[in-house]
A and B are shown apart, each in its own frame.
Chain A
Amino acid sequence: MEKINLEYFGEKFDRLQTLDPDNFMRAVRKEGFSKFNKKGLPTFKTEEWRYTGVSELFKKEYHLSTDESESAKGISKSQIDEIRLPGYENANELVFVNGKYVAELSVIRSSNDDLIILPLEEAANGIYKDLVNEHLGKSALFVNDAIHALNTSFIYGGIFIYAVKKQIIANPIYLYHISDATETHILSQPRSLVFMDVSSKLQLVESYHTIGSMDSFTNEVLEIVMDTNSVLEYYKIQNDHVNASQVGTTHIRQIGKSYAHTVVVTLNGGMIRNNTNIIMEAAGNEAHMFGLYLLNGNSHVDNHTLVDNRMPNCFSNELYKGVMDGRTTGVFSGKIYVRPDAQKTNAYQTNNNILLSENATVNTKPQLEIFADDVKCSHGCTVGRLDEEALFYLRARGISKEHAQAMLLKAFAENVIEQIKIEPLYQYAEQMITERLGD
C-alpha cells in the first residue's frame, strides 16, 4: 500500500511542477519532495514519532487534490454557514477546501490598509515577492521531518497574509479548513505564510471540518513570521469527526522582539498531531503557549511543542492540560532548546493530565537541552485521577457524583480555555466543554 502511495505522490508532484512553473516555488517544492523521498515515512523508531504511528494513515488511498477548481466543487455557501465559528460577523473568514484557498467562499472584512490577503502564487510574483522568497519554506531548516517535507512538496493554492506595519487588526482571521470526504478519502495539505510587520497585531483562528463519511487527513504547515513589536494571538480549535486525522504544524519565527500567544484546543478527531514551534530569533522575545485536549472514544492526540531560544533574554511559558477518557491516547512532548547565545532565558513548561478510564493512556515527555549557563528553566508533568477529596467534598454538599466530576473537570480545563481572548470564541469553547462534560 505504502508503495502505491509513494508512486501516486510522484505522479501528482510531477503534474504540479508542470502546472505551476514559477521558478521559486518549483525549487521549494523540489527540495521538499527530495527530502520526503530520502527520509521516508516515520516509524516508531523515529524519535519524534515514537508515540504516534503516523504511517498508519498512509495505508489508505487518498485523493490528493492539486487542482484549485476541482477542490471547491460541491461545497456550497450554506455548508459554510454550518461551520462558521461564533464571532464570524466580525472576522475575515478564509475558506480552504481540500487544502486550497477558495476566494469565492471567503469573506474579507478588513481593509487593504490593515491587512493584505493574497493567493500565495500571486504574492510570490508581486510586490511581496521578496518577503515570500525570504520566508516561505524556512521552517524546513528547523523541522527535519518527512511529513513536513510532504507538505512542502505540494505547496500550491495557499495564501499569503501580510499584517501591515503599525496596524492593530481589529477583525480576527478565521481559517476554515474543509475536507470534502463525500466520495473518496481525502488528503489536504494547506500551506500558508503569514508575515507580521513591525508593531502589527493579529488574531488568527484555525478550525477543521470534514464533510462526508470517508476519511480525511490534513497535513498542514502554517508559517508565521513576526517582526519587532508585533503581537500574535493564535488559536486552533479541533472538534472534527473521528474519521478526521491531522498533522498540523504551526511554525512561528519571532525574528524581532515580539509577543506570541497560542492556544490549541482539541476535543475530537482521529489521529491528531499538533506541532507548535516557536523560534526565538531576537533578544527579548516572549511566548505563551497553552493547550487543552479533552478526549473520549478512540481519539489519539499528540501535542509536540518546541521553543528554540537562540538569543538572550527570551521568556516562554507553556501550560498543556489533558483529560483522557475511553480508549484515548494523549501525548505531550515539550522540547526547549537554550542555545549558547541565549543567556538569561526564562523557559517554563507544565503538562497536567487526568485519566478517567482504565483504558486511556498518556505519554508525557519534557525535553530540555540547555547550552547556556545563566538560565531559568523548569518543567513539570503530572498524570493522575480526579482529586477524590475534592469529589467527596462536593458530594457531601449534595452535588451528584456526575455533576461534581463535571465541575472539577471544567475547573481543570478553565485556565487554558480562559486564554482564548476572542470573547465569542471563548464562550463557544466553554459551551462545547460544558456539553462534553455533561455539566
Chain B
Amino acid sequence: MLSIKDIHASVEGKEILKGINLEIRAGEVHAIMGPNGSGKSTLASVLAGREEYEVTKGSVDFMGKNILELSPEDRAREGLFLAFQYPVEIPGVSTTNFIKTALNEKRKYQGLPPLDAVSFMKLLREKTSLVEIDKSLLTRSINEGFSGGEKKKNEIFQMAMLEPRLTILDETDSGLDIDALRIVANGVNKLRDETRSIIVITHYQRLLDYLQPDFVHVLLNGRIVKSGTKDLALELEEKGYDFIKDEFSLTATV
C-alpha cells in the first residue's frame, strides 16, 4: 500500500530525514518510535504534504501513485489521513459543515455524487457512537474550546467519517488521560480491517498495548535504525533509547 524509498527531507535548509525506507502492506499497523527530534513528525508532515518540508531525494508510492507530486487535498482524497498531533482551532467553521464539505469533496474526486442530508446525518450518528464523541461538539466551531481529549477524539471521528486507507496517528496519545486514551484506541481498533493500514507515531507503550502493532520501527537521527515486532516496543519501554543508540553507534563505527 505504501512504499517509502530513501526519503530525504529538509526544513529551512536543515536535513531532518536522511534516507527513510518503509514498506507497509494493507491491513498492517506500524509503530514508529524514537526520541524527540528524531524526525517522526517530519515524516508524518512529508507524507501529508506540508509545504514547508522539502523532499530532496527519494519517492513515496501510495497505492500505485507517487503522492509527493500531489497536493495535500489530493493525498487526502486518495485515502491518506493524518491525525494531527496539535489539531488547530478554527473559529467560525462548524465541525459538521467542515466534515460534510471534506466528505463530499472526496466523493467528487472519486466520481461519486454528494451525500444527501439524510444519509449524511445517518452516517454522522453511526460514527459518533462508534468513536464515543459528544454530539454537541459537532455543532461547535472546529476544535474551538475543546479539551485535549476532545480534540483527539475529533481527529478519530474525522478518520471514521472519511474512512481512509492509510492513517497516520501523530502522537495521538500525547496529552490524553487513561480513559480518553482507551476511547481513542478503541475507536481506531473499530476502524481497522484488512484493507486499511495505520502508522502510529508514539513515545509510549500504552497506546501500543491497545493497538497491537505488527511492526515497530525506531527512528533515530532521521533514519530507521531498528525494526522488529511489538516486543521491541516493550524492550524500549524497559531500557530506553540508549541501548539502541549504543548499538547503532557501534554498528556505525564497525
- State whether the Cβ of A392 lies closer than 8 Å to any Cβ in chain B: yes
5 A-B pairs with C-beta separation under 8 A? A387-B88, A389-B88, A397-B73, A398-B109, A399-B73
Query: Contacts of A404 on B, CB cut-off 8 Å?
Result: 73
Q: Chain A, interface size: which category?
A: 20 to 34
CB distance from A232 to the nearest CB of B (A): 27
Answer whether residue A401 sits at the interface, using C-beta atoms and an 8 A cutoff.
yes
* Interface contact B72-A395, CB-CB below 8 Å: yes
Residues of B within 8 A of A400 (CB): 73, 105
Contacts of B206 on A, CB cut-off 8 Å? none
From known contacts A403-B101, A403-B105, infer whether A398 and B76 are also in contact, taking CB-CB under 8 Å: yes
Residues of B within 8 A of A1 (CB): none
The answer on a CB contact under 8 Å between B90 and A399 is: no
**Is residue A378 contacting chain B, with contact meaning CB distance below 8 A?**
no
Task: Identify which of A87-95, A175-183, A411-419 touches chain B.
Answer: A411-419
User: Is the interface on chain B under 10, 10 to 19, 20 to 34, or 35 or more residues?
Assistant: 20 to 34
**Stretch in B59-67, B91-99, B242-250 touching the partner:** B91-99
C-alpha gap A410/B93 in the complex (Å): 8
Give Cα A88–Cα B142 distance, bound, in whole angstroms.
36
In the docked arrangement, what's the CA distance between A294 and B99, Å?
A: 26
Q: Is the CB of B50 within 8 A of A392?
A: yes
B88 → A minimal CB distance (Å): 5
Asked if B105 contacts A393 (CB within 8 A), the reply is no
B165 within 8 A of A: no
Whether the Cβ atoms of B91 and A392 lie closer than 8 Å is no
Within the complex, what minimum Cβ distance (angstroms) separates A19 from chain B? 53
B90 touches A397 (CB 8 A): no
Select one of B92, B101, B102 contacting A412, CB under 8 A.
B92
Closest 6 interchain pairs by CB? Answer: A411-B92, A398-B76, A397-B102, A395-B72, A398-B106, A393-B88
Bound Cα distance A403, B104 (Å): 12
Assembly CA distance A390 to B84 (angstroms): 12
A: residues with CB less than 8 A from B are: 387, 389-390, 392-401, 403-404, 407-408, 410-412, 414-415
Contact present for B48 and A390 (CB under 8 Å): no
One digit per residue, 1 when the CB lies within 8 angstroms of any chain A CB and 0 when it does not, for chain B 20-49 equals 000000000000000000000000000011
Q: Let me know if B102 and A399 touch, CB within 8 A.
A: yes
Which among A387, A397, A411, A412 is the interface contact of B158 at CB below 8 angstroms? A397
Q: Which of B73, B76, B106 contacts A401 (CB 8 A)?
A: B73
Inside 8 A of B103's CB, which chain A residues have their CB?
Answer: 398
A408 to B103, CA, bound (A): 18
- Interfacial chain A residues near B77, Cβ < 8 Å: 398
**Nearest-Cβ distance from residue A405 to partner chain B, whole angstroms:** 12
Residue of B nearest to A393 (CB): B88
Which residues does chain B contribute within 8 Å of A389, judged by CB atoms? 88
Residue of A nearest to B93 (CB): A411
Which residues on the A side are within 8 Å of B92 (C-beta)?
410-412, 414-415
Residues on B with beta carbons closer than 8 Å to the beta carbon of A414: 92
Q: How far is the CA of A364 from the CA of B92 in the complex (A)?
A: 24
Give B residues with C-beta under 8 Å from A: 48-51, 71-73, 75-77, 82, 84, 87-88, 90-93, 98-99, 101-103, 105-106, 109, 141-142, 158, 162
A407 to B99, CA, bound (A): 12
Contact status B98-A395, CB under 8 Å: no
Complex Cα distance A414/B93, Å?
Answer: 9
The docked-state distance in angstroms from the alpha carbon of A415 to that of B162 is 29
Interface of A is mostly: helix
CA of A88 to CA of B99, assembled, Å: 36
- For residue B82, which residues in chain A have a CB less than 8 angstroms away from its CB? 396
- Taking the closest CB of chain A, its distance from the CB of B74, in whole angstroms, is 8
**B95 CB to nearest chain A CB (Å):** 11
In the complex, what residues of A have CB within 8 A of residue B142's CB? 393
Least CB distance from A53 to B in Å reads 35
Q: Could you tell me the distance in whole angstroms from the C-beta of A392 to the nearest C-beta in chain B? A: 6
Given contacts A396-B48, A407-B98, contact A390 B72 (CB under 8 A): no
- Closest Cβ neighbor of A418 among chain B residues: B92
Give the chain B neighbours of A394 by CB distance below 8 A. Answer: 90, 93, 98, 102
Which among B90, B99, B162 has the greatest number of chain A C-beta atoms within 10 A? B90
- The minimal Cβ–Cβ distance linking B108 to chain A, given in whole angstroms, is 9
| Residues in chain B near residue A393, CB distance under 8 A | 84, 87-88, 90, 142
Complex Cα spacing A390 to B88, Å: 6
Give the shortest distance, in Å, between A16 (CB) and chain B (any CB).
49
Closest residue of B by beta carbon distance from A414? B92
With contacts A394-B98, A403-B105 known, is A408 near B93, CB below 8 A?
yes
Q: Which residue of A390, A395, A410 contacts B76 across the interface (Cβ within 8 Å)?
A: A395
Take A403-B105, A411-B93 as given contacts and tell me if A396 and B76 are in contact as well, using a CB distance cutoff of 8 Å: yes
Give the shortest distance, in Å, between B168 (CB) and chain A (any CB): 10
In the complex, the answer to whether A397 meets B76 with C-beta atoms within 8 Å is yes
Query: Measured between alpha carbons, how far is A397 from B93 in the docked complex, in Å?
Result: 14
**Which residue of the partner chain B has the closest CB to A389?**
B88
How many angstroms between the C-alpha atoms of A428 and B48 in the bound complex?
38
Complex Cα distance, B88 from A410, in Å, reads 17
Q: Which residue of A lies closest to B91 (CB)?
A: A411
State A392–B92 Cα separation when bound (angstroms): 16
- Cβ–Cβ contact B90 & A390, under 8 A: yes
Nearest chain B CB to A175 CB, angstrom units: 30
Query: Is B71 touching A397 in the complex (CB atoms < 8 A)?
Result: no
Chain B residues with CB under 8 Å of A403's CB are 101, 105
State in angstroms the CA–CA spacing of A317 and B75 once bound together. Answer: 44
The answer for the CA separation of A408 and B84 in the assembled complex, in Å, is 19
User: Please, which residue of chain A has its CB at the minimum distance from the CB of B158?
Assistant: A397
Considering the chains assembled together, what is the distance between the CA atoms of A101 and B162 in angstroms?
58
| Bound complex: CA A100 to CA B90 (Å) | 46
Residues of B within 8 A of A397 (CB): 73, 76, 98-99, 102, 158, 162
In the assembled complex, how far is the CB of residue B146 from the closest CB belonging to chain A, in whole angstroms?
13
Nearest CB on A from B145, distance (A): 15
CA gap between A396 and B90 in the complex, in Å:
14
Q: Which residue from chain B places its CB closest to the CB of A413 in the assembled complex? A: B92
Given contact pairs A390-B88, A395-B76, A396-B48, a sample of 18 additional A-B residue pairs in the complex whose CB atoms are under 8 Å apart: A389-B88, A393-B90, A394-B93, A395-B49, A395-B71, A395-B72, A395-B73, A396-B76, A398-B77, A398-B162, A399-B98, A399-B105, A400-B73, A403-B101, A404-B73, A410-B92, A411-B90, A411-B141
Given A399-B101, A399-B105, the answer on whether A408 and B73 have CB atoms closer than 8 Å is: no
On whether the beta carbons of A408 and B90 are closer than 8 Å, the reply is yes
